[in-house]
Amino acid sequence: MTDLKQFLAQASEPEFWQTPKSIVFRGENYPVLFFARLFTYLQKNGMPKRDTLVIATTPPTEVQRTLAQSFLGQSNVYWLGEAPAKPTKKDEKLLGYLEYYAGPHTIAYFVHTDAKGIGPQALQVTLPKGLSEHRFRELGKLFAPPKALGHADVIAKVFMHSMEIGLDAACMLYDYLELLSARTAGDFMAELPKILEPQTSLHALSKAFFERKGREFFSLWSQVQGNYSTMFWLTFFSEQLWQAYHVVALQQAGKLHDAKRVGYRLPFSFFKTTWRKVQPSALAQEHAILYQGDYAIKQGSSFPVLDYFFSHHFS
């Protein structure tokens, strides 16, 4: 098992890419922005041309056929994206193939923390759940635009707000910091919760909501409620319920790929276990409460819709 820092050091060496490899990134959540940055960095530092062959949207037989063929002995690097957390029988056959893949190409893909079936020949890279200020600066030397790390005082304030930030949040911050000036720094700090919270608190809030953990939910709610308007929260919970309703229906029908595509904003735990404990009719009923509340507010009502909604959900 290798950590991210060790992997970046190894991958920067020219000989690293000279032989086919199977590289498996392991983490709690799939950091899309991070991987875009990672491969941009690697291609500037010796990695051969990368091709994308996303296993979530490409038929397994096509993936296997492509990875088995080589034109005139040429070796490519294929990024396969995120391995399915709930594989179908076809997925399992493909994952079995990837488990013992030994060329002719180099493949790389992401699996969730508890995934099994990773071959002994694979280079496993553990992704950090969050970055401290030190690790944020360290990674920024490789990933960030030139001016981003020059705002030392702003970075320090960011990490006073949050002891650690996720990989995708870090990538967004690098871009924000690149555009920052002394005049806009104050506005940036005021908007900071809206940049960071979707990566942390909103995800945790949704998880506690669907798992009906009232104490945990309301503790988080007290922290983030004031960061957004009532209309934002109505939209947020409506979307969560809408996605959850369709995910449950698709999971019950065995359409796992479709479920994952529809529920892209739901917490990973919902796909893993929670969906089995949820009734679609209850989700539809709660969605209707929010829809009616949204309409009432737009008509001038001051009825506390969210309070009623939470009371109904956690009762």
CA distances from 289 to 263, 306, 308, 313 (A): 21, 9, 9, 10
CA distance 243 to 283: 10
Which residues share a beta bridge with 107? 22, 78
In terms of Cα–Cα distance, which of 239, 226, 225, 221 is closest to 291?
A: 239
22-27, strands of its sheet edge to edge = 2-3, 123-126, 22-27, 106-112, 77-82, 50-52
Q: So what's the pLDDT on residue 194?
A: 60
CA distance 36 to 56: 17
Q: Which one-letter DSSP state was computed for residue 299?
A: T
Amino acid identity, position 53: L
Peptide bond into 104 cis (omega under 30): yes
Which residues share a beta bridge with 22? 107
Q: So what's the pLDDT on residue 310?
A: 93
Cβ atoms 151, 50 nearer than 8 A = no
Q: What backbone phi and psi angles, to 5 degrees, belong to 279?
A: -95, 125
Amino acid identity, position 32: V
CA distance 283 to 187: 38
Q: So what's the pLDDT on residue 199?
A: 53
Q: So what's the pLDDT on residue 126?
A: 92
Q: So what's the pLDDT on residue 252?
A: 84
Helix/strand/coil for 26 = strand
Q: So what's the pLDDT on residue 154?
A: 79
H or E, element range at 82: strand 77-82
Helices (H), 129-252: 133-143, 152-161, 167-179, 185-196, 201-210, 214-224, 230-252
Per the structure block, which two tokens stand in for 262? Answer: 């529809």
Query: Mean pLDDT, consecutive 10-residue segments, the chain of 315 residues?
Result: 90 84 88 87 85 81 87 81 80 86 87 82 89 89 84 79 79 81 67 59 85 90 79 86 89 78 78 86 91 84 88 89
Q: So what's the pLDDT on residue 192?
A: 67
CA distance 134 to 237: 35
CA distances from 44 to 12, 13, 51, 75, 147 (A): 9, 12, 15, 18, 19
Helices (H), the chain: 4-11, 32-44, 60-68, 89-99, 133-143, 152-161, 167-179, 185-196, 201-210, 214-224, 230-252, 256-262, 268-272, 280-298, 305-314
CA distance 48 to 54: 18
Cβ atoms 201, 221 nearer than 8 A = no
CA distance 246 to 263: 8
